[in-house]
Amino acid sequence: MKKRKFGLVLSSVLAASAILGACGTKDEDKPAKEKENENASSGESNKEGAFSVAMVTDVGGVDDKSFNQSAWEGVQAYGKEHNLEKSKGFDYLQSKSDADYDANLNALVRRDFNLIFGIGYMMEDAMAAIAEENPDNKFAIIDATVEADNVVSVLFKEQEGAFLAGVAAAKMSKTGTIGFVGGVDIPVINRFEAGFVEGAKAVNPKIEIKSKYTGAFDKADLGKITANSMYSAGADVIFHAAGATGNGVFSEAKERKKKDPNANVWVIGVDADQYEEGKIDDKTNVTLTSMLKGVNTAVVDISNKAKNGEFPGGKKLVYGLAEDGVKLADSRGAIPEDVQKVIDEYKEKIANGEIKVPEKVKK
C-alpha cells in the first residue's frame, strides 16, 4: 500500500459519491457498522462551546483490538472526563481505504471539532494537506511527522518495547526459533522488528528469527496463513505488529493449542493488551504478553493540553521506556519470575540510556 496525496477536488468527488450511493440503498438493509459510520459522517457539528476532540482511523478500523482501538479509547476517556456527548463532543470516522483519509479529515473540520487526530503513518500526506488548508485548526498525528505550526506529531520508540518482547520470546522459546509478523513495510513497523531482533539476540545470539511483512493491517487471513507457515517451520513464539492482520496470528495459535494442549505455542500482542485475544478457556491462553504503546495516554494528554491552551503545535513528542510510553503488559503468570527478572534488567538499561536500540534491523 502506498501513501497517496489527494486534493480537495478528489475529496469532494468522494463525498458526493458516498451521498449518492447512500441514496440508492435502504437503510434497514445495511450492516450495523456501516450505519454507525454513516451516522458519524453526517453527525452534528460541535456548537456548544466545549473543547471537542475527534479522530480518523486508518484502514485497520476502530475495533482492530490494537492501535486504532487504543486511540479511540483515549478519545472516549477524554470525553468521559469532561462529560462530553459522542458525536458532538467527541467522535471518530473510520477509513476503509487510504482514499478515505482526506474526506474523513475534511468532514471533521466541517463539523468544527477543536482537535482532530489522524491515526497512523499512512495518513501523513493527507494530514499535511489538510493542515495547510486549515491553518486555524488544531491537528495531531500519531506515528508520523508533519511539520506545521498547527500539528503536533506523536511518535513512540517502538524499538525499545519490542526489545523486551524479543527478550521474552527468546527466553521462552523451546525450539530456538521465533517469528515476527509485520503489517505494511514502513518505518514504524521496522522499529518493531529491529527491537524484537535485537532483544532476542541479546539473550540468545544463536536464535533463529523468521520475519515476514504481510503488506496489510486489515487482513486477518494473511496473518493466519503467515503464522501457520512460521509455526510449521518450528517457531513457537510469534510477535506481531500488524494491527487487525495480527488477529489471524492469534486464531492460528489457538487452533494449534486446542489440537495439542501441551504444545508450546505463544503470541506476543501489540499496542494494546491482547490477553483476551489469546483466551481459549478459563485456564488456557496463548498470549505470552503484549508490547503496549501508550497511544490512549498520549491522546488524553494532548487533548487536555490543547483544551487548557497549551497545544504543542509544531512540536514532535517522542515516548519511550523512560517516558513510560512503551512497555510489556502483565503476563498473568505466563512468564516465570527468572525470565521476568532478565526482562526488567534490560528495561532499566534501556531506560537509563545504557543500551541504545536501533530503529532498523542490522544487516
Is the model's pLDDT at 2 over the cut of 80? Answer: no
Pairing of strands 177-182, 237-241: parallel
C-alpha cell at 199: 532483544
| Segment 326-336 mean pLDDT | 96
Which among 129, 140, 159, 177 is positioned nearest to 9, based on CA atoms? 129
Asked whether the predicted pLDDT for residue 4 surpasses 50, the reply is no
Q: What is the pLDDT of residues 29-51, one digit of tens each?
A: 444 444 444 434 444 545 457 99
pLDDT at position 46 is: 53
Residue 38: all three cell numbers together: 454513516
Range from 31-40, 138-147, 257-266, 293-302 carrying the lowest mean pLDDT: 31-40
Q: What is the pLDDT of residue 49?
A: 77
- Flag the least confident range among 41-55, 146-160, 223-237: 41-55
More confident position, 47 or 81? 81
Q: What pLDDT shows up at residue 363? A: 78
* Strands of 326-328's sheet in order across: 208-213, 177-182, 237-241, 266-271, 287-293, 326-328
At 331, the pLDDT band (50, 70, 90 cuts) reads very high
* Domains of the chain, CATH where assigned: 8-156+295-319 (3.40.50.2300), 158-293+333-351 (3.40.50.2300)
At 65 the pLDDT is: 85
Report the DSSP beta bridge partners of residue 139.
116, 151
Task: Name 244's Cβ contacts closer than 8 Å, sequence gap at least 6.
Answer: 60, 61, 64, 65, 66, 217, 218, 219, 220
Kindly report, residue by residue over 302-327, the tens digit of the pLDDT: 999 999 999 999 999 999 999 889 99
* CB of 176 closer than 8 Å to CB of 207: yes
Checking if the pLDDT of 362 tops 90, the result is no
Sequence-ordered alpha helix ranges (H) in the chain:
8-23, 32-41, 67-81, 100-110, 124-133, 158-172, 187-203, 220-232, 247-259, 295-307, 337-351
